[in-house]
């Protein structure tokens, strides 16, 4: 075999190992995390984002299983919100040769509910 030909195909197995897969799945749209329409004094704070992820290394779990509730709480805590409105949840799965992760991303508008004095 010609050495030049061998050198031209030698990197192919290495490139194949670097490949991976990414999958995106929109899960749902949630109106709100609590019925805020019954409250007066609702203040929009701004956008909020939270996520919860599972991770695997060599197909061995190295992070806890992702949960939608964990992602919702992370979104509320990141913005100091009492609730979220206009919430969407998306799933992302990425897989590479030795590593994989699966995440739930939650996005919405953070709102604060005025506390009654008294």
Contacts of 69 (CB under 8 A, 6+ apart): none
8 A C-beta contact, residue 108 and residue 88: yes
Domain ranges of the chain: 19-113
**Per-residue model confidence as pLDDT tens digits over 13-63:** 665 666 677 777 776 666 666 666 556 678 888 999 999 999 999 888 898
Strand order in the sheet with 60-61: 21-32, 83-95, 99-113, 42-57, 60-61
**Per-residue model confidence as pLDDT tens digits over 83-111:** 888 888 888 998 888 899 999 999 998 99
19-113: CATH topology is Translation Initiation Factor IF3 (3.30.110)
- pTM of the complete model: 0.69
* Residue 77 confidence (pLDDT) above 90: yes
């Amino acid at each position: 075999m010609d050495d030049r030909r061998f050198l031209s195909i030698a990197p192919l197995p290495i490139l194949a190992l670097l490949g991976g897969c990414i999958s995106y799945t929109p899960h749902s749209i949630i109106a709100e995390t609590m019925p805020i329409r019954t409250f007066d004094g609702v203040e929009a704070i701004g956008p909020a984002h939270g996520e919860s992820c599972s991770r695997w290394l060599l197909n061995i779990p190295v992070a806890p299983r992702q949960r939608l509730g964990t992602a919702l709480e992370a979104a509320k805590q990141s913005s100091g919100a009492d609730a979220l409105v206009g919430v969407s949840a998306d799933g992302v799965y990425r897989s590479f040769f030795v590593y994989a992760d699966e995440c739930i991303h939650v996005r919405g508008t953070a709102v604060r509910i005025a506390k009654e004095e008294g």
